[in-house]
Amino acid sequence: MNCPQAQQTSTMLESTASSRESVGARGGSTASQVGSSKASGSRQQGRHAVTARVYALNRVDALGSANVAIGKDLIFGKDATVLFDTGASLSFVAQAFCIHACGVLSSVDEEIVVSVPTGQSYRVGRVYKGCDVVVKRQSFIADLIPFKIEDFDAILGMICW
């Protein structure tokens, strides 16, 4: 599938990434890291935060968790290595895979605080809404949050499938 918006979306993602604090290391993201005091569910600069959890961001985390399965499926009409995380409350797309996005990266209504396996939490504020995800030839619609993910193109939480 050829998507004319992919170039624009990629530029928007790079712009968003450069305007936020970049956090490296395992489980990092271009989202800004949340401090330890009252991060989850608290009001941050007048905005309510929605909390989310991811149990694995790479193969090492996935192999150590009974809550996940790995598969090959279609996201944005492209073959993708997908981690199905029964403990994840939302769905995520690897920043590197966002070049295939056919849609607009938009702001979330409420800031999302994502907890990762390292125990750290990160704030995210952008999402690709209404993305087509095909799992075993069955199509689903999912909102995908760009996040730094290693070894996978996407993490699909329970709500999606």
Give the pLDDT score at 64.
Answer: 81
DSSP code for 116? -
Burial of 138 (0-12, 13-18, 19+ CB in 10 A): exposed
CA 152 – CA 62 distance, rounded (Å): 10
> Which own/partner contact pairs does 15-19 have at CB distance under 8 Å and 24+ positions apart?
16/105, 16/126, 16/146, 17/95
Give the pLDDT score at 53.
Answer: 83
Q: What is the pLDDT of residues 109-124, one digit of tens each?
A: 899 999 988 899 999 9
pLDDT-derived band at 46, boundaries 50, 70, 90: low
Question: What domains can be seen in the chain, in order of their start residue?
Answer: 6-157 (2.40.70.10)
Average pLDDT of span 95-120: 90
CA 29 – CA 35 distance, rounded (Å): 15
Q: Could you tell me the pTM of the whole model?
A: 0.70
